[in-house]
């Protein structure tokens, strides 16, 4: 009789040990009773009836997922390789277990397809210069799609945009041409401003003969100060006009 009691006690102890589950602070247990969902338990000590109930552990911490490098063709037909990192966590353990077979794999596959789809709608320049906006667009799409699975996508970061060597050289040539274009524009604007100032100065000096004479003397002084073997003296236009009038008058007298 005592032996039977010991066996019963041992069986009960084994059943009790088998029914004990310890959930950490960041874990939850999704409980199924005879195949039907009956609740979410944890953290701490929970009891699961063997052969009647089953529990599925769900990690509620933020998960960092690397999205493998994806081949993307941009809107301007440039082939690039892009990879990213996604930060997400389970906010509803029930839906993460019931609504999707493997929420980690499903989120990874959805992230890859979304990355290709979103980046394919933009030019290469936008991929390189507007990463923050692209990150927000991808994050919003993923968060909306995974909400039914009890997943919250907190952040998406594009890590690398790899370009072929030939395209890098083409971009370098384009940048050099752009710098040359800007330099030419700046030079042309400078010449335009200088010509406008010269025109303004010429109008002022034409209205003031004294200023014209003073400028003439300054030019002679500058020429005299240089060590030149040949000196060319500028002749004022009014002197040439007077000389032309004298020649015409002499011609008329003859």
Domains of the chain, residue spans: 16-58, 63-163, 174-253
For 14-77, the DSSP string reads HHHHHHEEEE-TTEEEEEEETTEEEEEE-SEEEE--TTTEEEEEEE-S-EEEEEEEEEEE-TTS
Q: What is the mean pLDDT of residues 31-49?
A: 91
Tokens of 225: 């100060």
pLDDT at 183: 85
Percentage of the residues of the chain whose pLDDT score is greater than 70: 77
Q: What is the mean pLDDT of residues 206-227?
A: 64
Condensed to tens digits (0 to 9), the pLDDT of residues 128-155 reads 888 999 999 999 999 999 999 999 999 9
Identify whether the C-beta of residue 75 lies closer than 8 Å to the C-beta of residue 120: yes
Question: Could you tell me which CATH number the domain at 63-163 has?
Answer: 3.30.479.30
The whole-angstrom separation of Cα 86 and Cα 64 is 6
Q: Does the pLDDT of residue 91 top 60, yes or no?
A: yes
Condensed to tens digits (0 to 9), the pLDDT of residues 43-82 reads 999 989 888 899 999 999 999 999 999 989 888 888 889 9
Q: Give residue 184's Cα distance to chain centre.
A: 30
Closest to 107 in 3D by CA, of 99, 159, 158:
99
51-60, 163-172, 210-219: least confident range:
210-219
Condensed to tens digits (0 to 9), the pLDDT of residues 1-20 reads 677 777 877 777 777 777 88
Q: Does the pLDDT of residue 226 top 80, yes or no?
A: no
Determine which helix (DSSP H) or strand (DSSP E) holds 149, and give its type and residue range: none
């Amino acid at each position: 009789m005592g032996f039977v009691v010991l066996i019963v006690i041992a069986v009960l102890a084994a059943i009790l040990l088998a029914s004990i589950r310890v959930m950490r602070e960041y874990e939850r247990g999704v409980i199924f009773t005879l195949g039907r969902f009956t609740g979410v338990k944890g953290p701490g000590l929970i009891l699961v009836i063997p052969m009647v109930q089953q529990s599925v552990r769900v990690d509620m911490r933020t998960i960092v997922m690397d999205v493998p490098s994806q081949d993307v063709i941009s809107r301007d037909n440039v082939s690039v390789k892009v990879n990213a990192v996604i930060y997400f966590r389970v906010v509803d353990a029930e839906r993460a277990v019931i609504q999707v077979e493997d929420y980690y794999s499903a989120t990874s596959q959805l992230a890859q397809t979304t990355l290709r789809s979103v980046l394919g709608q933009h030019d290469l320049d936008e991929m390189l210069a507007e990463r923050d906006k692209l990150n927000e667009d991808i994050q919003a799409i993923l968060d909306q799609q995974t909400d039914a699975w009890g997943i919250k996508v907190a952040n998406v970061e594009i890590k690398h945009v790899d370009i072929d060597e030939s395209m890098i050289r083409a971009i370098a040539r384009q940048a050099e041409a752009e710098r040359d274009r800007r330099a030419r524009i700046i030079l042309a604007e400078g010449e335009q401003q200088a010509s406008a100032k010269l025109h303004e100065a010429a109008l002022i000096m034409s209205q003031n003969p004294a200023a014209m004479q003073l400028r003439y003397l300054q030019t002679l002084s500058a020429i005299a100060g240089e060590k030149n073997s040949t000196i060319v003296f500028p002749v004022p236009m009014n002197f040439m006009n007077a000389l032309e009038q004298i020649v015409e008058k002499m011609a008329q007298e003859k």
